[in-house]
A and B are shown apart, each in its own frame.
Chain A
Amino acid sequence: MKYETVIGLEVHVELATESKIFCSCSAKFGAEQNDHVCPACCGMPGMLPIVNKRVVDLGMTAGMMLNCDINRTTTFDKKSYYYPDLPGSYQTTQWFAPICVNGKVKINTSKGEKFVRIKQIHMEEDAGKLVHDDWTDTSLVDYNRTSVPLIEIVSQPDLSSAEEVLAYLERLRDLLRFAKVSDCRFEQGSMRCDVNLSIRPEGSDKLGVRTEMKNMNSLSAIERAIDYEVARHIDALENHTEELVQETRRWDDVKGKSYSMRTKETAGDYRYFPDPNVMPVVIDDEWFDSIRASLPEFPEVKKAKYTEELGLSEYDADQLTQSRAYCDCFEAALAESGMAKESANWIISDCAKALNRRQETADMLKINGKALGQLIKLVSEDKVGRANAKKILDAMFEEDIDPLAYAEKNGFIVSNDTGAIEAIVKAVVEADPKSVADFKGGKEKALMALFGKCMKELKGNCNPQVLREILIDQINKA
């Protein structure tokens, strides 16, 4: 028999805010354990939740990027269960009136184009983290992540293969990064995914037994887990190796197997009820419109513009539109310099290398695009040499500088004083008669050595064409 796979995803995305959703603690990743905590995020009595407006902004932004309807009155609810990573023994989430409903996302796979429907997006707080200590045989609790704002994006069961799941997740990631909703980093847990999966005979309209795999945090693991589960389900149906039950399973990526999670946590009644401490959030037209106006163009719209209107190559346009930060920087540099190809090159090549050295991702490009445009102009107008321009770019990664002022201060301005250049070249030529003789003997490489020495003496502040002419002139005179 032929089977088809039915998959729905619940994707958790941590929002890019400074502070947590209900208290003012830092929401940043990577602090020492329990450094980003206050009485509220360790469950002490007396603090009251105050909603971070930015969370609602980003929730709305996500919904608009994913073609959702926005609930103009949205409310928060409490969900109860006991677990040490949940300090209040309840999570504040949205159960009755989530911020976004009824969206859709277009994906492309080898089978072509397809829409995946979004059931809802709700805002909620993250839980803390547990570390297990083998020496003392205890678990250790870190509340830094407690109350970090999340959105949960719940899809309809519209996906039918690992390929589609990956295409959907990549599309979500691109859109949400582009709209600066989240950095969507699986490896840091800022994007996580629960996979709901069932199998049914092809053409059947009845859903099979569904299993859920929670907290998947890498695309390749998700792919392997789906392939494993599909095979396990089919095996169970065909060969009766086991009876499928609706349950939560844990994926062990090392062993390449999924395991049943028979814990109390999965069995309980969450007893949702509206949070009396959080008033309904009403999104008026002004608020709604300001978010709508702040939305970026979709990456593919930008790409078409870059290739069709600005004449960039497909490759360059793809490179730029992988990151909203790249696009913003590119567009600012272009506005200042008027040079599309040059602006693109500086970002794709020089900025990318600098980011790489700093172990930062494309989304973390923070240099001032207008200043980059000024730098590009200085180079094209022969006011700064290329090698020095790269040094200026490095400085721009450290702080927001004026490239011209920086070039002047550091002696990076190209000299037009041919007399001074001649004097330096003459000294270099006189000090290296061997290279001069080699060149005259037909060794072209010797000229490059002399050229390099001259450029070094000139600190790079010379038009290469001018230097070359003066150098040949001096060699001939020697």
Chain B
Amino acid sequence: MNLYIDKKDSAAAKNVVVDDMILTKDLTTTAGSKMLEGYKSLFAAEVADKLEGAGYTVTGKANVGELAIDLAGETSYFGATELEGKLTNAASVIVKNEDVCGAVVFEVNGANMRSAALCDLILVKPTYGTVSRFGTIPGACSGDTVCVMAKTTGAAHELLDAVAGYDCKDGTMHADEKCALLKSGAEFAPVKKVAVANSLCDTADPAKVEAFKTFLAKAGVEAVEVDADILTSASAAWTALMCAELCNNVSRYDGVKYGYRTKNYKNIDELYTNSRTEAFGMLLKTAILYGSDALSTGNYEKVYDKGLRVRRVISEYFASLFAEYDAVLMPVTSKDEYTMADIEADRYISFKENRFTSPAMITGLPAVVVGGVQLVGKAFSENALLDLAEKFEKEGK
């Protein structure tokens, strides 16, 4: 099983892994694709530099599904990864089993959130624009987010402290004083009232959500069930936006400048088509074609533009919830374990299972995965979400 795409030995005290959507200078970066097999970047991601700056050593590159759009790493050209027979991505296996402080991972379609939930790890998907995307392999830029994954909330928050912060090389970032709001020690209002998103709970195994609600009751945090029907539309909307952006972002891989080039070509079109056809997997190809269709003349208004409008409707719905509640409790997966049999039954399962992760992806709101569930909060509320997660860690089990 190929947990690592590349790794190096380290005698340092604070070791981390980053996933293979994050560029590093000394280690190869492949995005889980044959297209980038052996690819060496000329520069490192800002987060890799920030980790080193905070005293961490990046010791390896965790395998990812091709362009990180799959369920939990099953589409990697370098092989799927499992923990005790259950499908889960490489970063989560490494964090679970190895002596590392945690992992810094790149979220496009929920694979990391799901893997963290399946492995009972902590994952923080911070507010969009608080962690630099400079040096990440672009997936769907309007939602792509660098996340931290660790065994404990404390370790996760330390990693978040290291990677969050303004970077002038990313044009979508908040000012440093905003980024500082999510760091340890910043003031925050503790979570007192949680909305439980019924529409999403209805299609998931209720055990983990119920366990969390029991903890909330014990901790004196009010939990109120809300219909949240609109959140069920996030999956279709995010899938369309994501595939469209992805289609554009992966059009750079064409066999001309770097990466895989087919041996079988006589002219430029054959070079392009055969390189891409031979190097990309089926899920990515489908995503490219679906995304291209969403953007095409005649469909743009109906699909892409509609997706952008639904994104605002969902954002406004969250804003209305946050007028009353401090966080929204949702499932992350529909069941406790997935296997390759699930993938064989439906290759496109990630575009359905993303119904739990798409609300936070499409809005850029922060989410903390803990105890197999997630808490979604308003922008910059990471401290409050982590505070509640930490209480769960201590008292909930």
Contacts and interface: CB of A to CB of B under 8 A. Distances in A.
Q: Does A touch B (CB under 8 Å) in the complex?
A: yes
Interface of A: 39, 42-51, 78, 80, 82, 84, 87-90, 139, 141, 264, 269, 271-274, 276-279
Given A50-B169, A87-B257, A277-B171, 15 more contacts: A44-B258, A45-B31, A46-B135, A47-B134, A47-B169, A48-B133, A80-B248, A82-B251, A84-B256, A88-B252, A271-B248, A272-B295, A273-B245, A273-B248, A279-B172
B41 A46 contact: yes
B300 A82 contact: no
28 contacts: A39-B41, A39-B43, A43-B256, A44-B257, A44-B258, A45-B23, A45-B31, A45-B249, A45-B252, A46-B137, A47-B135, A48-B172, A80-B251, A82-B272, A87-B257, A89-B254, A269-B296, A269-B297, A271-B292, A271-B297, A272-B295, A273-B244, A274-B308, A276-B140, A276-B141, A276-B245, A279-B171, A279-B172
A51 B171 contact: yes
Given A271-B292, A273-B304, A46 B171 contact: no
A115 to B, nearest CB: 33
A98 to B, nearest CB: 18
A47 B308 CA distance: 24
Given A78-B248, A271-B296, A48 B23 contact: no
Interface string B160-201: 000000001111100000000000000000000000000000
A264 B273 CA distance: 13
Interface residues of B, number: 41
Contacts of A51: 171
Given A44-B258, A80-B251, A273-B304, A278 B42 contact: no
Interface in B230-263: 244-245, 247-249, 251-252, 254, 256-258
B252 A46 contact: no
Interface centre among B170, B256, B258, B269 (most CB of A within 10 A): B256
Contacts of A279: 171-172
A129 to B, nearest CB: 14
Nearest to A22: B171
Contacts of A82: 251, 254, 272
Given A90-B248, A271-B295, A279-B172, A46 B269 contact: no
Contacts of A43: 252, 256-257
B314 interface: no
Nearest to B22: A46
Contact of A46 (B43, B142, B251, B297): B43
A89 B138 contact: no
Contacts of A269: 296-297
B134 A48 contact: yes
